[in-house]
Amino acid sequence: MVLSDRTIKEEIEKGRIVIRPFDPSCIQPASVDVHLHHQVRVFEGRSYTLPIDPRKAVDDRTQLREISEDRPFELQPEEFVLGSTLEYIALPPDIVGRLEGKSSLGRMGLLLHSTAGYVDPGWKGQLTLELSNVSKVGILLFYRMPIGQISFLKLTTAADRPYGTEGLGSKYLGQMGPTPSRYCHEFDRDLVATKGTAAVRRKRGGAADNATLREWLEQSRFGGSVRLFAEALGVSLKTAEDWFYRGARPEPGNRARIFDLTQLPQYEPPPLLLRDS
């Protein structure tokens, strides 16, 4: 059952569907408009000559580009980039989402996603967009432009294991900004069988911990701003972006600072680091 505009409003008012920032005027008859984030992730030039190995992380093959309302990004013909919704979205265990493009943009040749239009029950985070230009001319992408719409469907029952449940292998919970593929984690099972879970943690580089940190940031006084978080922590913006967007694992000293600020248990340092003698 697809939710109508009336039911969408009711679910948002109850806090069961979370959309931030939220503008009531963005509610359509059976969907809600979403907008483009201020960053896009672009594949580097060499990425078009070297094959992608799904077993390996692809973070280092992409670069983040900043865009604004007056400084757009030009998506070239046949070019593919990752974008993100400006909106943070959270769903309860009995509702799924469907993300679709805007018809008007589709008529210009802009495709919103290749395969990732499904939003699991239990999802929390911004939605990564798989943007492609199938026209013969460039298309300008502006920060905050309406980029798509999300509709909601009610499940027959609440999911027994919503997205993010331990053991489910949810790789993108709490993602913020355009997030590269983590398909390489599908091969972790083989690594566990041969070398144990510690090897998997080293291979992931802290991505699982950082997903929780992204969720904390969205709920914090910083309102999801990586820049404000970096300033409060006393680290460079690039360092913080490495944690949030590239799965980098903070150094021990920074883990202690993160713990002092967030009290997230996974960042609690050894006792010696808690006492600076």
CB neighbours of residue 233 within 10 Å: 18
Distance of alpha carbon 112 from alpha carbon 132, whole angstroms: 7
Contact status, residue 80 vs residue 107, Cβ threshold 8 Å: no
Beta bridge partners of 75: 139
Distance of alpha carbon 145 from alpha carbon 88, whole angstroms: 16
Angle at 63 (CA atoms; ends 58, 68), nearest 5 degrees: 140
Tell me whether the omega of the peptide bond preceding residue 21 falls within 30 degrees of 0, making it cis. Answer: yes
Catalytic annotation, pick one of 130, 231, 241, 268: 130
130 is catalytic: yes
169-187 burial, b for 16+ CB within 10 Å, e for fewer?
ebbbbbbbbbbbbbebbee
Q: Find tokens 């802290």 and name the residue.
A: 206
Angle at 210 (CA atoms; ends 163, 147), nearest 5 degrees: 65
Sign of CA dihedral 31, 132, 248, 186: positive
DSSP state letters, 145-175: -EEEEEEEEE-SS--SS-TT-TTS--S-TT-
Report the catalytic residues: 130
